[in-house]
Each structure stands twice: as C-alpha cells, then as structure tokens.
Amino acid sequence: MKAKQIRDLVNIVEKSNIDEIEITRWWGYKVRIRKTSSYTIVPQQDARMTDVAVPAPPPQPQSAPAAAEEPMPAASNHVEITAPMVGTFYRAASPDAVPFVKEGDSISTGQVLCIIEAMKLMNEIEAEISGKIVKVLVENGDAIEYGQPLFLIDPS
C-alpha cells in the first residue's frame, strides 16, 4: 500500500465516526488505522502489519456515567481465548441455529467456537487448545474489541 493511500485512509478515519479500520491484502500485509487519545504507535501483532494512530475526537458529554465492567479474573489453570479482531460476536452460524459451544462443553483444537463478523465478512474462530469451556465471557451480538477475552478454557 502506498503512502498516499494510507494518508487518504487516515483522513477518512479522522473525519468520520469510525474508530478503527483494518485493511488486509491477499499477500498478507495489513494496515490498521485507529483513533487514540494521543499520537502513539500501537505494537504490531504481525511483523508484516503496520499500525497508524490518529488522534481521537474530544469526548462527548454523557447523560449518565457508564458502569465500569470488572473483567472476570482467570483462574491460574484457565486459558483465555481472545478476539483476534474487532467485530460482532456470534455464538451460532445463524440466529435460529444451535450455538457452536456452550459452558461445560469439551472442545478440541481446531473446533469452531464462534463467528466474528468484521466488515460484512464472517470469520470462524477456532480453538487453539483442547479443554472444557468454563465461561462464555460475551453475549451473542456484542460488539467486541481486538484482544477482548471471549472464552475461559480449562485445558486438558
């Protein structure tokens, strides 16, 4: 991707209500542009990925303060499965389908756990380890962030 194309994307993000955009090319290169409170470079997750930070707009006044959610601490033997991307979390392939997994289910490596919809693309998220689902940490249809914990797994 050329520098002018990246500058154009930065301008689009600055002037819109979009907080983040990620472009992935078929040969594996990625560019992620994210609004932040200051100009900072976000550490790269992939050696071929480029992050560009854009200043966030000033905060808008809220009518009521939002309640801070406390993350559930993982037990020492539990493993968190986290979101590999920003998107919408779905527990099943369609609204009337049975969820891929539920609490108490045994899972194996490579098994589909959920779908994350990002930019109208449905991405199946597979288990990286075998074990048992201890807790599903997000609700069906929730907007999720990169790195957000989705499942707690008791490895076997």
State the pTM of this model.
Answer: 0.52
Q: What is the pLDDT of residues 97-156, one digit of tens each?
A: 899 999 999 999 999 999 999 888 888 888 889 999 999 999 999 999 999 999 999 986
- Domains (ranges, CATH) in the chain? 3-55 (no CATH), 79-155 (2.40.50.100)
Q: What is the pLDDT of residues 123-140, one digit of tens each?
A: 888 888 999 999 999 999
Asked if 52 and 6 count as a contact pair (C-beta separation under 8 A), the reply is yes
Distance in angstroms (rounded) separating the CA atoms of residues 23 and 1: 10
Please state the separation of Cα 135 from the chain's center in Å. Answer: 18
Distance in angstroms (rounded) separating the CA atoms of residues 79 and 85: 18
95 or 7, greater pLDDT? 95
